[in-house]
């Protein structure tokens, strides 16, 4: 009886320790999250956000719509996108919110999207490369590339390059690239970039692909910011933090477990979107380019992202992979 009582006390103490740890960590996260101190009006600004029908993209679109911007939701799923458009218009009463089809897993879809933008828009003020996927195996796109690499990186590389002329039409335009601190764990090897040996179709292989794609976005940010330094276009990368979004394709049971854990250890979508909105609107960063941001502040580049030669080699390889030969940035 005495031993059973002791075991019960130990168990209760363990539960108490876990709860205190969760609450302490939640307070720590809340204290680190900075409010958005920018109240810039975005009236007559044109903003394109990829993957904006849910998660961070939707939350960003919602906030920028409140500020009066014209929002273009560049999404693959038309049904979800139209639902998001109606939701944003309903909440903000800004009727300048539209969906245009964009499938980053298809270079032809990207070129069609760009063609439509050139035909209908005089300029672009903000391009937010937000769309991303995770948790899928080594599937190939119609263009013959790993789906995760193309959607998370190559597609945005092509899209951004093709839209440069429209961004140049708006003085002080901004490009914001979504990345992740998982880029710290990247094992990027350009020699195997197009057929990387993800022979083990498991969590670790998928995580490696995801990490590599996010490191590519940082190198892309650095290299394109250097190329555009004389054109008044700023380019910065954002790590929004650990957030519960639909980016990871995992079983429903695990999603529910992660949601329970995430309540204490992750940011909300609204909190995660703040740095994106900060970079899209704040006058404090109007001349900052080539940086990496987290919690509305610039942070030190990850060690894996400090090889300028790798950034140059990646750019040259990417040009070939997306057939960008006739569209270079001068």
The pLDDT of residue 191 is 84
What is the per-residue pLDDT across 266-289, written as a single tens digit (0 to 9) for each?
A: 678 998 999 999 999 999 999 999
pLDDT of 268: 86
pLDDT of residue 10: 66
Alpha helix locations (H) across the chain? Answer: 2-32, 55-66, 78-92, 107-120, 147-149, 155-168, 203-227, 252-265, 269-281, 308-321
- If 0-12 CB within 10 Å is exposed, 13-18 middle and 19+ buried, where does residue 23 land? exposed
Identify whether the C-beta of residue 63 lies closer than 8 Å to the C-beta of residue 323: no
Q: What global pTM score does this model have? A: 0.85
For the chain, which residues make up each domain, given as ranges? 33-321
Catalytic annotation, pick one of 153, 196, 198, 210: 210
257/277 Cα distance (integer angstroms):
29
* CA neighbours closer than 13 Å in the CB half-sphere of residue 107: 21
**Architecture of the CATH domain 33-321:** 3-Layer(aba) Sandwich (3.40)
DSSP letter at 154 equals I
Which residues have a Cβ under 8 Å from the Cβ of 83 and sit 6 or more positions away? 53
Give the whole-angstrom CA distance, residue 214 versus residue 219: 9
In tens digits, what is the pLDDT along the chain, a chain of 330 residues?
Answer: 656 666 667 666 776 765 666 566 556 555 556 566 767 999 999 999 999 999 999 999 999 999 999 999 999 999 999 999 999 999 999 999 999 999 999 999 999 999 999 999 999 999 999 999 987 767 889 999 999 999 999 999 999 999 999 999 999 999 999 999 999 988 898 987 776 554 455 555 567 888 999 999 999 999 999 999 899 999 999 999 877 655 545 555 555 555 555 554 567 899 899 999 999 999 999 999 999 999 999 999 999 999 999 999 999 999 999 999 755 554
In angstroms, rounded to a whole number, what is the distance separating the alpha carbons of residues 9 and 3? 10
CB 118 within 8 A of CB 102: no
Taking only the tens place, the pLDDT of each residue in 38-50 is 679 999 999 999 9
**90 assigned to active site:** no
Tens digit of each residue's pLDDT (9 = 90 or more) over 116-150? 999 999 999 999 999 999 877 678 899 999 999 99
Which positions ≥6 away from 41 have C-beta within 8 Å?
A: 67, 68
Sheet strands side by side (includes 70-75): 97-101, 70-75, 46-50, 126-129, 174-178, 234-238, 292-294, 297-299
Pick from 42, 50, 59, 281: nearest CA to 157: 50
Task: Characterize the bridge pairing of strands 292-294 and 297-299.
Answer: antiparallel
Distance CA(131)–CA(219), nearest Å, equals: 17
Q: Which pLDDT value is given to residue 330?
A: 46
Report the candidate in 231, 245, 117, 244 with the shortest Cα–Cα distance to residue 174: 231
Element (H or E) spanning 191, and its range? Answer: none
Assign 186 to helix, strand or coil: coil
- pLDDT at 187 (0 to 100): 86
Token code pair at residue 213: 């794609």
């Amino acid at each position: 009886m005495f031993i059973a009582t002791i075991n019960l006390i130990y168990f209760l103490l363990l539960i108490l320790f876990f709860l205190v740890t969760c609450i302490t960590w939640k307070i720590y996260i809340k204290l680190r999250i900075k409010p958005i101190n920018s109240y810039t009006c975005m009236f007559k600004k044109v903003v394109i956000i990829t993957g904006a029908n849910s998660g961070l993209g939707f939350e960003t679109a919602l906030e920028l719509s409140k500020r009066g911007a014209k929002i273009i939701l560049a999404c693959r799923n038309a049904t979800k996108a139209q639902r998001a458009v109606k939701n944003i218009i309903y909440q903000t009463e800004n009727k300048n919110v539209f969906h245009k089809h964009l499938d980053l897993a298809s270079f032809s879809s990207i070129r069609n999207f760009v063609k439509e933008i050139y035909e209908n828009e005089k300029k672009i003020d903000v391009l937010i490369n937000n769309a991303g996927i995770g948790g899928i195996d080594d599937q190939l796109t119609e263009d013959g590339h790993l789906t995760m690499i193309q959607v998370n990186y190559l597609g945005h590389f092509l899209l951004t390059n093709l839209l440069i002329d429209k961004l140049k039409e708006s003085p002080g335009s901004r490009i914001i690239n979504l990345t992740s601190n998982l880029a710290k764990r990247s094992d990027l090897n350009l020699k195997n970039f197009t057929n990387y040996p993800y022979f083990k179709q498991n969590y670790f292989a998928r995580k490696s692909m995801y990490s590599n794609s996010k490191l590519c976005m940082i190198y892309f940010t650095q290299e394109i910011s250097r190329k555009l330094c004389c054109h008044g276009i700023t380019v910065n990368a954002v790590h929004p933090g650990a957030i519960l979004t639909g980016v990871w394709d995992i079983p429903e049971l695990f999603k529910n477990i992660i949601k329970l854990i995430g309540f204490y250890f992750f940011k909300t979508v609204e909190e995660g979107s703040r740095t994106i909105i900060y970079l899209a609107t704040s006058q404090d960063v109007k001349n900052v380019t080539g940086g990496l941001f987290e919690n509305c502040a610039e942070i030190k580049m990850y060690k894996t992202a400090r090889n300028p030669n790798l950034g140059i080699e990646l750019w040259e390889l990417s040009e070939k992979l997306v057939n960008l030969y006739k569209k270079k940035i001068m």
